[in-house]
Structure 1
Amino acid sequence: MRVPSPLVRGVVGSWVVAASALVTSVVPQSSWIASIPLRDSLAGRMTGLTFMVFGLGLLVWAWLEVGREVLAGVRHRLIRMTVLWSLPLLLAPPLFSRDAWSYAAQGALVANGFDPYTVGPAALSGRVVEAVDPMWMNTPAPYGPIPLAYGGLAAHVTDNPYFLMLAHRGLALLGIVLIAWAVPKIAVACRVDPSVATWLVVANPILITHGLGAAHNDVLMLGLACSAFAVALTGRWGTAAVIAGTAAAVKAPGGLVVIAIAAVMSPLAGRALKRLASLAIAGVVSVLTLVTVGELTGIGSGWLNALDVPGLVMSPLSIANLIGLGTSGVLDWLGAEDAAQQALVIIRLLGILAALGLIAVLGLRSHIHAAARAVGVAMLAVVLLGPTAHDWYFLWCLPFLAVARPGRRLMTALVGVSMILTIAAPLNSSLRGAVIPILVTTSLVLVVVGTLLGRLRTLQPAKAPRSPQPAAPDAAMSAVAAAPPPGPHPQQS
């Protein structure tokens, strides 16, 4: 029997995921989706989870097959393929996470005159808070003024949580468009095949499912950060710094792209004072932009006081959490209860300080050729050493590492992590305490991941294009400046 093409496999997988979301995703009780019969029984929910993992496996399998061909030099219409894979998820309930319902409720807070940085969704009542995770009902919003002001405008139009969720998915879609525009341009400047970078980032199932499907505002942050880097490579570092501040006005880590902007401003290595001045200038412009956005939207900057809210989740993906919880457990077992309570706080603080120290070193020492890698490593440090980490946080570093001339090991690591975090996505907080679904879903994930892992061996990083010849940084920047205006790259459309 002939196996369908990767394009068809990906489309089918995406439709299966979208249909399964009607059974597995958390939705407001007042929604018609909540009355679907399969949602009322364990057998029905397990059927939905099984199809969800199957659909994700199909999507990842298709992506890996396309990647093998792209790395071998075969031309693919990657943007068109990404659009077709994404379409089924546009109207689906949020995948894997309930954050989009929190976004809807926080926008409603703004629309009703509440300060989202001092009160949580519990200040509201009605259907807009029905699907909000109870953990976040009484917590202030840890997001910047842009998504909150946008959510407030949407909530003035409708109080339907489903339509509000779709409005925030629109922001995620805008972020993907910005990423699709910026990544090929950054790849050209870094002398990486833009088709490979586009496949690894834009067509990546983790961006399609976690980014668009879950409607996380991290995607808009990332799109703005990538755009800031691409604009800086054209020599307009002032504009780039403003865009970086706008990215930080969505979520704070977006501002880390100033590391790359400073590298463009002072590309000569070994001149610490010049680099420090560049960082200071780009940083000041970005911060002023951040404050200005807060004032213009009327939201303010109170979100800076709520940045520790995500840390309420003890994520095992954070190295600081793992060490802290392990140390706390040992101390508690030894009877040192007071020390056990302090251990996690201290180790988390040390993790943050270590991340900040690494960011400072990267900002001062990274030259223009390593600017993308520096931002990627800085983002990764914030994720792994910060107080919490979610699987979609991997998106923060993906575009920058993908254009940093990845060798075989880094390429395999990026592909492997993308594959695993996509297929394991159904093991999210909505399964909290559900022993049987967790065990069954884990088994399904292991089977699908194990089946696909062997295909990683066929992936080889493509060689950098021979034309243009390796040149000085100025030549690379000139190539980017001469690139066509925003739109699909010729090789992908």
Structure 2
Amino acid sequence: MVRGVVGAFVVAAASLVTSVVPASSWVASLPIASDLRHSLPGRMIGLAFMVFGLGLLGWAWLSVGRDVLAGVQHRLLPLVAAWCAPLLFTPPLFSRDAWSYAAQGALVSHGLDPYALGPGALSGRVIEAVDPMWMNTPAPYGPLPLAYGGLAAQVTLDPYLLMLAHRALALLGIVLIAWAIPKLAVACRVDPTIATWLVVANPMLITHGLGAAHNDVLMLGLACSAFAIALTGQWGTAAVIAGTAAAVKAPGGLVVIAIAAVMSPLAGRALRLASLAIAGVVSVLTLVTIGELTGVGSGWLGALDVPGLVRSPFSIANLLGMGTSGVLEWLGADTAAQEALQVIRLLGILTALTLIAVLGLRSHIHQAARAVGVALLAVILLGPTAHDWYFLWCLPFLAVARPGRRLTTAVVGVSLILTIAAPLNSSLRGAVIPILVTTALVLVVAGALLGHLRTLLPAPQAATGGREPRIVGTRLVSSIRERRNGEIRSATSTSRS
């Protein structure tokens, strides 16, 4: 508890120096922070403390995980609340997207179309901290957060207060995830305490989700809630919530794969296709209805390619496309080089859609969580772009998909790396010295934390028959061994009788 809270407070203090804030905000005029912000040594001090605080938070999470996996009972939700509290009122961490949310909401409140105009159509303090890269691009988000932002902008045009309003949506998303994860874990025969630790207490969710105020967290909370409600037999309500998740960001609608699996458990492909069609139609109708009722419309579908302006290294399609373009440029085929990236991105999208279709038709109820997790992971890795916080999309579904030792270790490792490396974001573009220094700090801290992964989970034992133990119900391989020994003793006693 204490180590995580101290880490969160250090991160909050460092954000006053490292985060981009509007020039008119109270943060910009803080005596010490403003002096540090406007000098290279000061910014480096802020980045060093940021990485240190993230390391403390990750260390605390690993320590709790070691206890939880060993069978120690922890009250995880109060722990998560304590870790989240210091980040509630800080500037956005690692990303300037929350300032874009504020400006897009102001567009809606002024009666302007956020799917045709960018924040640059406005003037004043509401656009002071918007990333210049997104100043003239339309919003790629669904109607729900834009309508909400429009309502908030009718109350105030202070960008900091508008950012806090969007952070409240992220907090709501975390609450929904915390409500849904134990229910999904029990239904999927996974220890709910372990699943809660792996997802809700995850420092990546706390920092990237709440700290950066990304609306992806609300999308994820609604998607998890839709799956949990579908498991109670209310698939119609679940499909409506799935459409609401898609009204935040389109990938949230992929939870209909799990809803269809619940509607027709262990059924043939024909019935599964019918279930997908019904759940999909209900979700799409919900999405369209939300767009019409809010007055925002569905123009965001034409702006879904806006995030693709960022050539992210997390996307396999991007890496292959940029590599192919570089080779073609070296060979002198400039025209082909320009088209190669778009062609490979298109192939990546088609591959992802094909995989999603296969998962939707072949996944029965016991594989529903894994199917959604894999589908979202395919969208991330094969889509036109991917940011580090996008990996939150698949986290809850993979965590309840009966993960073995290797998958759990991979999830923990990726979460730690993406948390510690978060300061290496777009706000450091072109700043060579901060990038090099921060990279060195990240490597040191991440390396120290990853060294603990070997002792986090028990290694496979002979009692498991050479198979990896599942983190389900029983928490230790030794408990499996004791149970089997008890069965053997019972059988021996019976035979003697």
TM over 0.5: yes
Instruction: Spell out the pairing of 1:296-335 with structure 2 (5 A cutoff).
Output: 296-335=293-332
- Structure 1 residue 459 displacement after superposition: 1.9
* Aligned amino acid, residue 88 of structure 1: P
- Structure 1 residue 430 displacement after superposition: 0.3
* Aligned amino acid, residue 176 of structure 1: I
Distance 1:425 1:265 in 2: 39
* Aligned amino acid, residue 326 of structure 2: G
Distance 2:95 2:247 in 1: 22
Distance 1:443 1:264 in 2: 47
- Structure 1 residue 34 displacement after superposition: 2.1
Instruction: Determine the structure 2 residue equivalent to 1:30.
Output: 24
* Aligned amino acid, residue 335 of structure 2: D
- Structure 1 residue 359 displacement after superposition: 0.1
Instruction: Determine the structure 1 residue equivalent to 2:88.
Output: 90
Q: Highest relative contact order (Cα 8 Å, sep 6+), 1 or 2?
A: 1
Distance 2:24 2:263 in 1: 54
Instruction: Determine the structure 2 residue equivalent to 1:286.
Output: 283
Instruction: Determine the structure 2 residue equivalent to 1:398.
Output: 395
Instruction: Determine the structure 2 residue equivalent to 1:15.
Output: 9
Q: Percent identity?
A: 82
* Aligned amino acid, residue 300 of structure 2: W
- Structure 1 residue 29 displacement after superposition: 1.3
SS of the aligned residue for 2:451 comes to: helix
* Aligned amino acid, residue 302 of structure 1: G
Instruction: Determine the structure 2 residue equivalent to 1:257.
Output: 255
Instruction: Spell out the pairing of 1:12-91 with structure 2 (5 A cutoff).
Output: 12-35=6-29, 36-91=34-89
Distance 2:56 2:244 in 1: 36
Kept in 1, the 8 Å contact 2:404–2:471? The answer is no
Distance 1:198 1:283 in 2: 29
Distance 1:72 1:380 in 2: 29
Gaps spanning 5+ residues in structure 1: where? 1-6, 468-493
Distance 2:216 2:189 in 1: 27
Q: Report the aligned-residue RMSD.
A: 1.0
Distance 2:264 2:246 in 1: 22
Kept in 1, the 8 Å contact 2:315–2:385? The answer is yes
Structure 1, residues 226-263: CA drift from partner, whole Å, max 9, x if none?
Answer: 00000000011000000000000000000000000000
Structure 1, residues 269-322: CA drift from partner, whole Å, max 9, x if none?
Answer: 5x1110000000000000000000001111110000000000000000000000
Distance 1:67 1:369 in 2: 26
* Aligned amino acid, residue 465 of structure 1: G
Distance 2:97 2:242 in 1: 24
Kept in 1, the 8 Å contact 2:172–2:218? The answer is yes
* Aligned amino acid, residue 394 of structure 1: F
Distance 2:77 2:382 in 1: 34
Instruction: Determine the structure 1 residue equivalent to 2:365.
Output: 368
Distance 1:126 1:24 in 2: 23
Distance 2:315 2:186 in 1: 33
- Structure 1 residue 463 displacement after superposition: 3.9
Instruction: Determine the structure 2 residue equivalent to 1:482.
Output: none
The number of equivalent residue pairs is 460
- Structure 1 residue 357 displacement after superposition: 0.2
SS of the aligned residue for 1:268 comes to: coil
- Structure 1 residue 354 displacement after superposition: 0.2
Instruction: Determine the structure 1 residue equivalent to 2:266.
Output: 268
Distance 2:43 2:161 in 1: 25
* Aligned amino acid, residue 305 of structure 2: D
* Aligned amino acid, residue 196 of structure 2: T
- Structure 1 residue 400 displacement after superposition: 0.1
- Structure 1 residue 32 displacement after superposition: 3.1
Instruction: Determine the structure 2 residue equivalent to 1:439.
Output: 436
Instruction: Determine the structure 2 residue equivalent to 1:212.
Output: 210
Instruction: Spell out the pairing of 1:217-236 with structure 2 (5 A cutoff).
Output: 217-236=215-234
1:110 to 105, 108, 130: 108
* Aligned amino acid, residue 33 of structure 1: V
Instruction: Determine the structure 2 residue equivalent to 1:100.
Output: 98
Instruction: Determine the structure 2 residue equivalent to 1:354.
Output: 351
Kept in 1, the 8 Å contact 2:102–2:162? The answer is yes
- Structure 1 residue 465 displacement after superposition: 1.8
Name which of structure 1's ranges 31-40 and 168-177 shifts more when overlaid on structure 2. Answer: 31-40
Instruction: Determine the structure 1 residue equivalent to 2:480.
Output: none
* Aligned amino acid, residue 83 of structure 1: A
Instruction: Determine the structure 1 residue equivalent to 2:337.
Output: 340
Distance 1:67 1:119 in 2: 46
Name which of structure 1's ranges 26-35 and 68-77 shifts more when overlaid on structure 2. Answer: 26-35
TM-score, normalised to structure 1, is 0.92
Distance 1:434 1:364 in 2: 48
- Structure 1 residue 466 displacement after superposition: 6.1
* Aligned amino acid, residue 304 of structure 1: L
* Aligned amino acid, residue 34 of structure 1: A
Structure 1 runs of 4+ off > 3 angstroms? none
* Aligned amino acid, residue 254 of structure 1: G
* Aligned amino acid, residue 187 of structure 2: A
Structure 1, residues 96-150: CA drift from partner, whole Å, max 9, x if none?
Answer: 0000000000000000110000000000000000000001000000000100000
Instruction: Determine the structure 1 residue equivalent to 2:489.
Output: none
Distance 2:46 2:133 in 1: 25
Which structure would you say has the larger Rg?
2
* Aligned amino acid, residue 283 of structure 1: G
Distance 2:113 2:51 in 1: 39
Distance 1:60 1:314 in 2: 28
Distance 1:252 1:56 in 2: 30
Distance 2:60 2:134 in 1: 36
* Aligned amino acid, residue 134 of structure 2: W
Distance 1:458 1:232 in 2: 37
Instruction: Determine the structure 2 residue equivalent to 1:122.
Output: 120
Distance 1:378 1:465 in 2: 26
* Aligned amino acid, residue 438 of structure 1: I
Distance 1:33 1:431 in 2: 19
Structure 1, residues 428-460: CA drift from partner, whole Å, max 9, x if none?
Answer: 000000000000000000000111111111122
Distance 1:463 1:324, change over 3 A: closer
Kept in 1, the 8 Å contact 2:20–2:96? The answer is yes
TM-score, normalised to structure 2, is 0.92
Distance 1:463 1:42 in 2: 47
SS of the aligned residue for 2:452 comes to: helix
Distance 1:221 1:273 in 2: 30
Structure 1, residues 343-384: CA drift from partner, whole Å, max 9, x if none?
Answer: 000000000000000000000000100000000000000000
Please tell me whether residue 415 in structure 1 is matched to residue 412 in structure 2.
Answer: yes
